[in-house]
């Protein structure tokens, strides 16, 4: 099996009929971190680039194909898809929440007028030539379908606008079981993200996640869906979890094609791995003021974020209006506006030299370590963190002086909160403290979001558990004895082993271990992780004895 796929999402086609000038249009552009006018030209260039690539004939588009559901945009974009297919590509499309609205906005001078849009019920038939017409299984009422691809791969196109539950969930499970029985590898695409790119995004953008995402990612894993392609957040990242049963699940989120960095993913699915590569749209026929297209898009993103942060410190109403561009709900902004405004007013002026002095104890840095950055504004660093969240760039390290100061400051916040007996975890519910909530913005993820290789795992059925010996050849430990050091194979000591992600910072391991001391040394678990799953190796581990079994694996006490 070796199948190559091209993956794009959030094309947000913007019809010129919607308006590209005037005060009303400029106000809309002010809070948009993606292109409006110019989006058509970028998509034309992207589609030409995809058509010229002869390594892959299959193109997947994971939703939000139009700006906001405008009928004109749908009609024009469908013609672009037809042209791409005429050049030898098979295109498969799902729609999403930005693709339906019966009354849409049109910008005319200073005014916002109405223009017709498509309803959700019209979309399935409108795009059925891009997947549904050749489906081996179809669920029109849920706008979803299954297509047989070459090389024993099945595509599950799952529209999650209204969640995946009830009879719809049952249908997906039936299709997954049929795929497994027939030896098919499942590639699924849906629109809303299932693994958040960071705890902070989970806090501010929870409403933009896949409905019941914490449960559904485990459900998908236990169906045998290891690879899920998503979009919506405009963030470029890759996440992984294991279900309680031990099944692996990768969520591959791709950034908006009309936003920074305009990514096009290339996937190669092999028997044991999925190779992921990313290229960006090279150029487009738009005015970039002499910049490359990528630099132009980055400038727009950074400009929006910078203006937003300035507004947060001066004008909460403007911040609430602009914050929607990065999934911050106005309700959340108004709820915490009393603290947001003074904090950001201060952040807009403070420099790293001030922070460096405050965090001297936490960082252990000397003045010479931060002298070169003392006049750099902290707000510029915050802008780069948000930019990296969207682009998937991981150009910061924990050794970077700014990162060290940033994390040191978070530790001070945690110390203060602990002193005044404030449990931040109970308030935000996505992380136990400020460091866990915000530090991941500086160093993101286990995977390179652009180019990486994902290991595929065997499927574990409901009544099975993964034996360590299935995927680890040996684990030999040197042990002291009266006769000197001897080798001891401890694989037989570990009977069952499963891993799941309890939260962003905690891996939960359930293991049955054969040992002489029933109190069970936690280092046995740590040693197993270090050798079998080094990518999951924790910084800290604790072990709780749940039950003790006899030799026949019956509960002893």
Over the stretch 120-160, which tens digit does the pLDDT of each residue have? 999 999 999 999 999 999 999 999 999 999 999 999 999 99
**DSSP secondary structure string, 234-253?**
---EEEEEE-TT--EEEEEE
Q: pLDDT tens for residues 180-215?
A: 999 999 999 999 999 999 888 898 888 899 999 999
Answer whether 208's CB lies under 8 Å from 193's CB: yes
Largest CA distance in the chain: 90
Which positions ≥6 away from 216 have C-beta within 8 Å? 164, 194, 210
Sheet with 185-189, strands from edge to edge, namely 137-139, 144-149, 153-157, 185-189, 227-230, 248-253, 237-242
pLDDT of residue 475: 45
Extents of the domains making up the chain: 2-280, 293-441, 465-536
Q: Which helix (H) or strand (E) holds 94?
A: strand 90-94
Residue stretches of the chain with pLDDT short of 70: 1, 444, 465-509, 511, 514-557
Q: Crossing angle, helix 213-223 and helix 166-181, to 10 degrees?
A: 30
pLDDT at 545: 60
Element (H, E) at 526: helix 522-532
Closest CA to 290 of 299, 280, 303, 281: 299
How much is the pLDDT for 472?
40
Strands 153-157, 452-455: parallel, antiparallel or unpaired by DSSP? unpaired
d(CA 227, CA 252): 7
| Token pair for 544 | 């709780």
Helix (H) or strand (E) holding 148: strand 144-149
Task: Please give the C-alpha separations between residue 124 and each of 13, 99, 132, 294, 488, in angstroms, as whole numbers.
Answer: 18, 11, 8, 33, 61
pLDDT score for 537? 59
- Per the CB < 8 A criterion, the answer to whether 326 and 347 are in contact is no
Which residues are CB-neighbours of 287 under 8 A, at least 6 positions away?
none
Q: Report CA-CA distances (Å) from 116 to 68, 102, 103, 108, 122.
A: 11, 6, 5, 15, 13
Distance CA 261, CA 124 (A): 29
Structure tokens at 296: 């132009």
Which is it for strands 476-479 and 486-489: parallel, antiparallel or unpaired? antiparallel
Give the Cα separation of 37 and 518 in Å (integer).
67
In sequence order, what are the beta bridge partners of 549?
555
Could you give the residue ranges of the DSSP H alpha helices within 87-188? 120-126, 166-181
- CATH 3.60.21.10 for the 2-280 domain, yes or no: yes
What number of CA atoms fall less than 13 Å from residue 210's CA on the CB side?
A: 27
Angle at 219 between CA 218 and CA 222, to 5 degrees: 85
């Amino acid at each position: 099996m070796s199948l190559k796929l091209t993956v794009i999402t959030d094309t947000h086609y913007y019809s010129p009929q919607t308006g590209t000038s005037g005060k009303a249009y400029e106000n809309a552009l002010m809070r948009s971190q993606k292109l409006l006018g110019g989006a058509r030209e970028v998509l034309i260039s992207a589609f030409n680039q995809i058509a010229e690539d002869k390594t892959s004939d299959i193109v997947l588009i994971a939703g939000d194909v139009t700006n906001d559901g405008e009928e004109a945009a749908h009609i024009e974009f469908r013609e672009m898809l037809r042209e791409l297919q005429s050049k030898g590509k098979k295109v498969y499309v799902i729609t999403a929440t930005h693709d339906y609205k019966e009354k849409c906005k049109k910008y005319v001078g200073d005014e916002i007028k109405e223009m017709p849009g498509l309803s959700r019920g019209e979309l399935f038939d409108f795009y059925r030539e891009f997947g549904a017409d050749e489906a081996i299984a179809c669920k029109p009422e849920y706008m979803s379908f299954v297509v047989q691809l070459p090389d024993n791969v099945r595509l599950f196109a799952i529209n999650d606008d209204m969640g995946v539950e009830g009879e719809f969930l049952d249908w997906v499970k039936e299709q997954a079981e049929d795929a497994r029985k027939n030896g098919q590898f499942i590639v699924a695409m849906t629109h809303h993200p299932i693994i958040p790119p960071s705890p902070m995004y989970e806090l501010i953008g929870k409403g933009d996640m896949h409905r019941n995402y914490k449960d559904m990612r485990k459900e998908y894993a236990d169906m045998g869906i290891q690879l899920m392609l998503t979009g919506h957040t405009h963030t470029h990242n890759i996440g992984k979890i294991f279900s309680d049963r031990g099944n692996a699940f990768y969520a591959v989120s791709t950034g908006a094609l009309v936003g920074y960095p305009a990514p096009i993913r290339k996937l190669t699915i092999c028997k044991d791995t999925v190779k992921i590569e990313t290229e960006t749209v090279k150029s487009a026929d738009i005015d970039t003021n002499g910049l490359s297209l990528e630099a132009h898009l980055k400038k727009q993103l950074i400009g929006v974020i910078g203006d937003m942060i300035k507004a947060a410190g001066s004008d909460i109403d403007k911040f609430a209006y602009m914050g929607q561009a990065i999934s911050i709900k106005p309700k959340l902004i108004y709820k915490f506006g009393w603290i947001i405004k003074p904090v950001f007013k201060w952040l807009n002026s403070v420099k790293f030299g001030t922070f460096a002095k405050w965090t001297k104890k936490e960082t252990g840095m000397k003045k010479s370590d931060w002298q070169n950055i003392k006049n750099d504004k902290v707000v510029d660093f915050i802008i780069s963190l948000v930019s990296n969240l969207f682009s998937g760039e991981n150009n910061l390290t924990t050794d970077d002086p700014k990162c060290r100061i940033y994390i040191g400051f978070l530790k001070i916040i945690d110390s203060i909160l602990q002193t005044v007996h404030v449990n931040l975890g109970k308030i935000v519910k996505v992380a136990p403290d400020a460091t866990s909530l915000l530090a991941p913005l500086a160093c993101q993820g286990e995977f390179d979001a652009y180019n990486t290789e994902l290991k595929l795992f065997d499927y574990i059925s409901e009544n099975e558990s993964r034996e360590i010996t299935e995927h680890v050849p040996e684990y030999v430990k040197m042990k002291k004895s009266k006769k000197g050091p001897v080798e001891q194979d401890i694989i037989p000591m570990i009977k069952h082993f499963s891993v799941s992600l309890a939260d962003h910072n905690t891996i939960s391991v359930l293991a049955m271990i054969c040992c002489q001391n029933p109190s069970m040394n936690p280092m046995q678990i740590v040693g197993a992780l270090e050798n079998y799953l080094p990518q999951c190796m924790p910084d800290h581990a604790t072990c709780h004895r749940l039950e003790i079994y006899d030799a026949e694996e019956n509960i002893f006490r």
